[in-house]
């Protein structure tokens, strides 16, 4: 069990983060906060990928004659683009929130649902 803890701690951290983000997304009423939760969730996925690409004893994947072991560059590439796409989608979400607020006068999920039912 302690072995497990020592070798797999990165996944555990990722899971904790992911669940916190997930919780914020489901349980919180405020749309902006939901978006923050979504960001946290997103970051946990980033961390999962990056930690999967780490090779112990490896170094940053920039070729150099003095270094023989590199970490895996592929997850880095994937996540690099994912971050920028993430900010673009976040901006889109924020824009939607602004429009919702203008239409309904509130950024709370509950208020919006109530107004929809009327």
Partner 1 sequence: MLTVTTVTLLLVMALALSRAFVGPTVFDRILAANMFGTKTVLLIAVIGFLFGRPEFLDIAMVYALINFIGVIGMLRLIEYLEDENSSSQEEDA
Partner 2 sequence: MLIATAIGIAVNRDLLSVVMLSSIYGLLSANFFVTMDAVDVAFTEAAVGAGISPLLMFTTMAIVGRYEKLPHRWSLSALVLVSITGALLLVATMDMPAFGAPDAPAQQHVAPRYIEQSGQEVGIPNIVTSVLATYRGFDTFGEVTVIFTAGVGVLSLLMVGDRATKPLSSHLLKASQHKILRIVSKVLIAPILLFALYVQFHGDYGPGGGFQAGVIFAAAIIVYTMLFGLDSARQVIDQAWVRVMAAVGVLLYGAVGVVSMVNGGNFLDYDVLAKDPLHGQHYGIIVIELGVGITVAAVMVLIYFSFAGRLVDRGHQDD
Q: Which residues bind partner 1 (CB under 8 A)?
A: 59-60, 62
- The whole-angstrom separation of Cα 16 and Cα 31 is 22
User: CA 10: distance to chain centroid?
Assistant: 15
Q: In the complex, what is the shortest distance from the CB of residue 93 to partner 2, in angstroms, rounded to a whole number?
A: 9
Joined tokens for residue 20: 């916190």
> Taking CB within 5 to 8 Å according to partner kind, which of partner 2, partner 1, none is near residue 113?
none
- The whole-angstrom separation of Cα 30 and Cα 14 is 24
> Taking CB within 5 to 8 Å according to partner kind, which of partner 1, partner 2, none is near residue 45?
none
For partner 2, give the closer residue by CB, 69 or 118.
69
Q: Coil, strand, or helix at residue 70?
A: strand
For partner 1, give the closer residue by CB, 6 or 66.
66
């Amino acid at each position: 069990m302690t072995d497990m803890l020592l070798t797999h701690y990165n996944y555990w951290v990722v899971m904790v983060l992911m669940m916190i983000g997930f919780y914020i997304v489901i349980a919180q009423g405020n749309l902006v906060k939901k978006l923050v939760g979504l960001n946290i969730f997103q970051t946990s996925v980033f961390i999962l990928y990056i930690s999967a690409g780490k090779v112990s004893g490896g170094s940053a994947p920039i070729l150099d004659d003095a270094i023989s072991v590199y970490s895996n560059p592929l997850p880095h590439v994937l996540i690099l683009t994912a971050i920028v796409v993430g900010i673009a989608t976040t901006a889109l979400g924020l824009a939607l929130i602004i429009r919702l607020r203008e239409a309904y006068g509130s950024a709370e999920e509950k208020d919006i649902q109530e107004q929809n039912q009327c």
